[in-house]
Amino acid sequence: PGSMVQTERLSPDAAGIARAASILRRGGLVAFPTETVYGLGADATSAEAVTGIYAAKDRPRFNPLISHVDSVKAAQRQGVFDDVASRLARAFWPGPLTLVVPVAPGCTVCDLARAGLDSVGLRVPSHPLARKLLAAVGRPVAAPSANRSGRVSPTRAEHVLVDLDHRIEAVLDGGATEVGIESTIVACLGGTPRLLRPGGVPREAIEAVIEGRLDLPPAVSSAPVAPGMLASHYAPRAQVRLNATTIRPGEAALLFGRMRPANADQAHATLNLSENGDLREAAARLFSALRSLDAADIGTIAVSPIPDAGLGEAINDRLRRAAAER
């Protein structure tokens, strides 16, 4: 980091994908779009390549990363899928679900990418560019969100460059991501599957497939098993005030639906995540909205109440982390 002159911006065509794959295959770092957020990719089989991820992100410690593969078959070579995990993979892959499963005997994901655990986080993304890239690399690609540690996840190539320009070799530009929040993470390690992080697949959809309840995620703490579990994460520079039904002078308003908070006209800036109260639209706009309000140099972002069902669980999770003390 620091020594690179320029981060290449690769176009989403065959040449761009080939270039991205060749950089990854020789151990370099490339950010690429998935349907959730942009990932900061490195060859998951190379500890040296994976070390680069932590340096580029300024991530203070080694945490388990998600390894991305291009098919269910490829995932099953890395991890052991019990009946529940197989059902979830069939139902939601390719898509915004990550499964944490025991490592398979032939697992090639390096220890560092798994943070030394005997489990592995796997995902088959649905974004066409991600899938083509993974097929061209032919190895699992470790990829956390392509932002500086603790910052808001990137949903556009421009966001990646704001955080990581000169720190990574390239970004594959696929425009805005569709889902906008990270994957749902479910651990299938025997017993009841556990929701480790709410995300792009709503809990209700998963519970319908497993015909039962997911175990609760472990309580948010400052000694996390994983960065996504840090109380303060996804943090914009501004303070974030949740469930705001009035706007205080100088605050920016992040609205949801048609309800206008009292004094909304006093807001320093106003953005609506979804006028129609559509949670999908709100998820897709969330991180971009936090970034643009931040760019406007605002002290506090007041956020309207957002329902907790469906994708609302993940949206509220990210907002609570953005609002947490730091």
Nearest of 265, 239, 269 to residue 254 by alpha carbon: 269
Q: Which residue in the set 12, 52, 64, 140 belongs to the binding site for ligand TXA (CB under 6 A)?
A: 64
Q: Which does 143 bind (CB under 5 to 8 A by kind): Mg ion, ligand TXA, none?
A: ligand TXA
Q: Which residue is nearest to ligand TXA (CB)?
A: 121
User: What is the C-alpha to C-alpha distance for residues 99 and 106, in angstroms, rounded to an integer?
Assistant: 17
CB hemisphere CA count around 278 (13 angstroms) = 8
Minimum CB distance to ligand TXA smaller for 75 or for 226: 226
Which residues does the annotation place in the binding site for ATP? 59, 63, 145, 153, 197, 234
Candidate segments 15-23, 35-43, 164-172, 267-275, binder of ligand TXA by CB under 6 A: 35-43
User: What is the C-alpha to C-alpha distance for residues 320 and 182, in angstroms, rounded to an integer?
Assistant: 15
Q: Which does 114 bind (CB under 5 to 8 A by kind): ligand TXA, Mg ion, none?
A: ligand TXA
> Cβ distance 122 to 44 under 8 Å?
no
Residue 186 tokens, joined:
């479910």
What residue ranges bind Mg ion (CB under 5 A)?
145
Q: Which does 66 bind (CB under 5 to 8 A by kind): ligand TXA, Mg ion, none?
A: ligand TXA
Using CB under 6 A as the binding rule, the residues of this chain from 103 to 122 that contact ligand TXA are 114, 117, 119-121
User: What is the C-alpha to C-alpha distance for residues 138 and 135, in angstroms, rounded to an integer?
Assistant: 5
Contact between 149 and ligand TXA by CB under 6 A: the answer reads no
Nearest approach in angstroms of CB 161 to ligand TXA is 16
Q: Which does 168 bind (CB under 5 to 8 A by kind): ligand TXA, Mg ion, none?
A: none
Minimum CB distance to ligand TXA smaller for 19 or for 127: 127
Contact between 126 and ligand TXA by CB under 6 A: the answer reads no
User: What is the C-alpha to C-alpha distance for residues 311 and 191, in angstroms, rounded to an integer?
Assistant: 25
Binding string, residues 171-210; x marks residues near ligand TXA by CB under 6 A: -----------xx-x----------xx-------------
Q: Which long-range contacts (CB under 8 A, 24 or more apart) does 267-275 make?
A: 267/302, 268/296, 268/298, 269/293, 269/296, 269/298, 273/306
Contact between 145 and ligand TXA by CB under 6 A: the answer reads yes
User: What is the C-alpha to C-alpha distance for residues 153 and 315, in angstroms, rounded to an integer?
Assistant: 13
Minimum CB distance to Mg ion smaller for 157 or for 244: 157
Which residues does the annotation place in the binding site for L-threonine? 36, 68, 123, 143, 183
User: What is the C-alpha to C-alpha distance for residues 210 and 206, in angstroms, rounded to an integer?
Assistant: 6
Mark residue 243 as left, alpha or beta (left: phi above 0; alpha: psi -120 to 50; beta: remaining).
Answer: left
Q: What torsion do the CA atoms of 262, 267, 273, 279 make, to the nearest 10 degrees?
A: -30
Nearest approach in angstroms of CB 234 to Mg ion is 7
Minimum CB distance to ligand TXA smaller for 126 or for 274: 126
Q: Which residue in the set 7, 88, 89, 123 belongs to the binding site for ligand TXA (CB under 6 A)?
A: 123
Q: How far apart are the first and last CA of the chain?
A: 26
User: What is the C-alpha to C-alpha distance for residues 126 and 201, in angstroms, rounded to an integer?
Assistant: 13
Nearest approach in angstroms of CB 145 to Mg ion is 3
β 66-68/8-10 pair status: unpaired
Q: Which does 119 bind (CB under 5 to 8 A by kind): Mg ion, ligand TXA, none?
A: ligand TXA
| DSSP code of residue 246 | B
Minimum CB distance to ligand TXA smaller for 33 or for 312: 33
Binding site for ligand TXA (CB under 6 A): 34, 36-37, 39, 63-66, 98, 100, 114, 117, 119-121, 123, 143-145, 182-183, 185, 196-197, 225-228
